[in-house]
Amino acid sequence: MKKLYRVKRNEDFQAIIKKKNSVVSKQFVVYFKSNEFDHSRIGISVSKKLGNAVTRNKIKRQVRSMVDTIFDMNDAMDYVIIVRNQYLYKTFDENKQDLMKLKKKTLSNR
């Protein structure tokens, strides 16, 4: 995922979350809102409760890999993906399937 497509600033994270459009599963919470750009931006948040820095960075790399295959970057949407504790107990493919289901739910909840 290119850095152009990432939500980086805290104000942007807060604005997306404050909009309160979300879909939830045991592994993820996905907040979304439309943006003024011609492309999507995605922010990933992993809590310290999930492990040390090495573990959290591994999770972020895995989620970025999932995002590359699932999300269409030509939408004008902002997403914040919050990884929950149950992520650790599922395989990569199970987590990817779950994120795909949430992406489909965001399309119907716009």
Say what the pTM is.
0.90
| Closest to 84 in 3D by CA, of 71, 98, 72 | 98
Is 32 contained in some domain? yes
The alpha-helical segments, DSSP class H, found in the chain are 10-18, 53-70, 92-108
Structural domain range at position 75: 3-102
State the CATH number of the domain containing residue 47: 3.30.230.10
Is 10 contained in some domain? yes
pLDDT tens digits along 72-94: 888 888 899 999 999 999 999 99
| Closest to 16 in 3D by CA, of 98, 81, 66, 101 | 81
Is 40 contained in some domain? yes
CB distance 78 to 32 below 8 Å: yes
Is 110 contained in some domain? no
pLDDT tens digits along 16-73: 988 888 899 999 999 998 888 888 889 999 999 999 999 999 999 999 999 989 888 8
CA atoms of 104 and 71, how far apart (whole Å): 10
